[in-house]
């Protein structure tokens, strides 16, 4: 099992569109992919679980991958989150005026 912390940069957090994008990327992974948010563990392959968590911009989460391709899958998920999950706009750090 491998894990990494990452901060959500989407200005509106993980709502429907980024949740769908994250689930789509996670479904390409052969590993089990979990997001640890506060005291909750979420299956990253489930759009409904991701949306129900109501993760806001600036929230630090931990991505956890377990399986044969866990290292590659962790990198794929982290890159997707850091890229904004398909949403164009300013990064979280850029919004701190």
Catalytically active residues, by annotation? 15
Secondary-structure percent of the chain, ordered helix, strand, coil, rounded to 5: 35, 25, 40
Structure-block tokens of residue 74? 């962790």
Per the CB < 8 A criterion, the answer to whether 29 and 92 are in contact is: no
Q: How many CA atoms lie within 13 A of 22 on its CB side?
A: 32
């Amino acid at each position: 099992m491998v894990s990494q912390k990452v901060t959500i940069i989407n200005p509106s957090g993980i709502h429907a569109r980024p949740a769908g994008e994250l689930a789509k990327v996670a479904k390409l992974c052969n590993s089990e992919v979990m997001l640890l948010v506060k005291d909750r563990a979420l299956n990253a392959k489930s759009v409904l679980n991701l949306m129900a968590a109501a993760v806001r911009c600036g929230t630090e989460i931990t991505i956890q991958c377990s399986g044969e391709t866990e290292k590659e899958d962790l990198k794929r998920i982290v890159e997707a989150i850091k890229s904004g999950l398909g949403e164009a706009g300013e990064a979280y750090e850029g919004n701190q005026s």
